[in-house]
Amino acid sequence: MERFKILFVCVAIIVSCTSRTPQNKSTGTISEHAMVSSAHPLASAIGLEIMKNGGNAIDAAIATHFALAVVYPQAGNIGGGGFAVIRMNDGTASSLDFREKAPALSNREMYLDSDGQLNDQQWSTHGHMASCVPGAVDGMFALHQKYGILPMAELIEPSIEIAQKGYALTALSAELLNTKQKEFRKHNRWSTPYQSDQKWQAGDTITQPDLAQTLKHIQTNGRNGFYEGIVADQIVAEMQSGDGLISSIDLKNYQSVWRKPITGNYRGHQIISMAPPSSGGVALIQLLQGTESYPIAAWGHNSTKTIHLMTELQRRVYADRATYLGDPDFVFVPVNDLLDSRYNQQRYANIPFDKATPSSLVLAGEIPPSESPETTHLSVVDADGNAVAITTTLNSSFGNKVMVKGAGFFLNNEMDDFSSKPGSPNQFGLIGGEANAIAPHKRMLSSMTPTIVTYKDQLKMVVGTPGGSTIITSVYQTLLNVIDHGMGMQEAVNAKRVHHQWYPDEIRVETDALTMSVQTDLEQLGHQLRMIDKIGRMDCILVLPDGRLEGGADPRGDNAALGY
Ligand code: DON
């Protein structure tokens, strides 16, 4: 594995050179053949190296995903789950659901007190009871089995090496870790590699021998190296040390699921995105359907009229999300009805342009009766034009903050994505209903929206982001930025964003997203505005008209698009 020793030196150099994408850079990394865009330059470099060594986009995405589990532990993971959307160069598209599942011992009242009210113990977000059965490792093996070219052992090897030898913290990671020390101490019975009595600084090195060992078990024993044997025993022991519910049977039985992607059209483009249990694909296409009949390019990017329209669409779409979306293996999700253009035309017909509609007046649409709800994203395109979009998560930053003792990885707190009490908001302020109530083995509703766009049957964009409830609207705006507002990929990613999600009834506005006069106009229409620092961290790739690739790596993080 000499090659990876060399890679290790190279990525160290890359980190020191490109750990920050310039804030106002309007053209991203351009490459001739292939590209990886992810939340961390080391992870992007590993994926890129895999493609240079003969791997395809799926191999690169798998290697990048494992690498993020090592160098981006706030969201990169083997203890969480996610979704992958794939489009091969022959035009075939597929999507993999490797979302976590509720443990068999979970139940719908588990976070309620004796009065039926949500308790204030933060059990759905912090500590052992917040964790669901992880799907990430099974997902990587399922992807590899269907599409991989290089041996899985080769895709995991660079991550083992970095876990063993250590990696240098960026300034942003050090800052984030310093804010989490109290929670790490509260939720772990031992000192994890991410704890320190001194403040972490940029350049400090973190080694993770336990995680390296876990990755070796996976490398040697495949999927079962995680879901059975010593690693599974360590997870179960961790659960038992703190009221966690995941059992060895839950782990053994976990299986990711291939699902038919959600598809739709927008101004001649085909959109390929994730189906339930993600709400992302359905909501994105509902939003695009509502936008298509309006000349938002002429109205202007982030103008009063454009923002007003987007807000009115968003509050309606998120109301539908709260009512109808959930795990399709458990509840009927009326996908076809929600994507029906007549339904959406009717749903949007009453949008007033002279005033904001209070969210309290917006209910979910009427669906006709029928037979029968910290993350990270990576985008990859290889030299043959195969494309993968993966959004993967532990839910909150560092998940439930619990690192599995001996195994060295953080667990998710995905139980909070269920609606613990229908009608009450979760940590993202999202309201959910019956369709997303907790049930054993069920998958919790997601907003993750890994998306691929084609134009005239040719690959055009690979897009995605973290951001909880803001994921859908960040992907939506990025597509509009390129398709309607004529931006390049990096420019579209850099552009400031806004967000509305029905409740709370407010437009979240990134600093400098709107001019003072647009803000005043929107307030006069009756919109409430709330300024916030950052929305999303996109990792995107655009195929330029001459066939080259432009990466869009979000300057809001350490994100890096690397290509050759
Ligand atoms: O699946 C979801 O929608 C959430 N668990 C995503 C969480 C997230 O994006 C947090 N990152 N900022």
**Does residue 278 surpass a pLDDT of 60?**
yes
Give me the catalytic one of 125, 375, 451, 473. Answer: 375
Residue 21 pLDDT > 50: no
Q: Which residues line ligand 1 at a C-beta cut-off of 6 Å? A: 374-375, 393, 395, 417, 446-448, 466-468, 471
Strands 529-532 and 507-510: parallel
Residue 306, token pair as written in the block: 């454009």
Q: How many residues does the chain have?
A: 564
Ligand 1 centroid distance, CA of 520 (Å)? 31
CA–centroid distance, residue 414 to ligand 1 (Å)? 9
**Which numbered atom of ligand 1 lies nearest the CA of 396?**
10
List, for residues 440-497, the tens digit of each pLDDT value: 999 999 999 999 999 999 999 999 999 999 999 999 999 999 999 999 999 999 999 9
Segment 292-312 mean pLDDT: 97
Q: Which residue puts its alpha carbon closest to atom 5 of ligand 1? A: 395
- List the residue whose alpha carbon is closest to atom 8 of ligand 1: 468
What is the pTM for the complete model shown?
A: 0.93
Look up 375 and say whether it is catalytic.
Answer: yes
Atom from ligand 1 closest to the CA of residue 469: 3
Q: Contact, 172 vs 557, CB < 8 A?
A: yes
Ligand 1 centroid to 427 CA: how many Å? Answer: 10
- Closest protein CA for atom 11 of ligand 1: 374
Whether residue 122 is predicted with pLDDT greater than 50 in this model: the reply is yes
Q: What is the pLDDT of residue 403?
A: 97
Ligand 1 centre to CA of 502 (Å) is 17
Burial of 551 (0-12, 13-18, 19+ CB in 10 A): buried
Structure confidence by residue, pLDDT tens digits, 73-93: 999 999 999 999 999 999 999
pLDDT over 50 (residue 405): yes
CA-416 nearest atom, ligand 1: 5
**Closest listed residue to residue 467, CA positions, set 532, 523, 541, 380:** 532
Q: Are 296 and 480 in contact (CB under 8 A)?
A: yes
From residue 410, alpha-carbon distances to 77, 126, 537 in Å are 7, 12, 21
Residue 444, SS3 per DSSP = coil
**In which band, very low, low, confident or very high, does the pLDDT at 367 lie, cut at 50, 70 and 90?**
low
Stated as kind and residue range, the H or E segment containing 335 is helix 335-339
Q: Half-sphere exposure of 188 toward its Cβ, with a 13 Å CA cutoff?
A: 26
pLDDT of residue 10: 43
* pLDDT tens digits, 424-440: 888 888 888 889 999 99
Q: What is the DSSP string of 62-131?
A: HHHHHHHHHH-TTT--SSSEEEEEEE-TTS-EEEEEE--B--TT--TTTTB-TTSSBPSS-TTTSSGGG-
Q: Ligand 1, residue 279: give the atom nearest the CA.
A: 3
pLDDT band at 23 (very low <50, low <70, confident <90, very high): very low
Q: Read off φ and ψ for residue 470, nearest 5 degrees.
A: -85, -5
Ligand 1 center to 535 CA (angstroms): 12
List pLDDT tens digits, range 202-246.
999 999 999 999 999 999 999 999 999 999 999 999 999 999 999
Strand, helix or coil at 390? strand
Q: Using CA atoms, how far apart are residues 44 and 56, in angstroms rounded to an integer?
A: 14
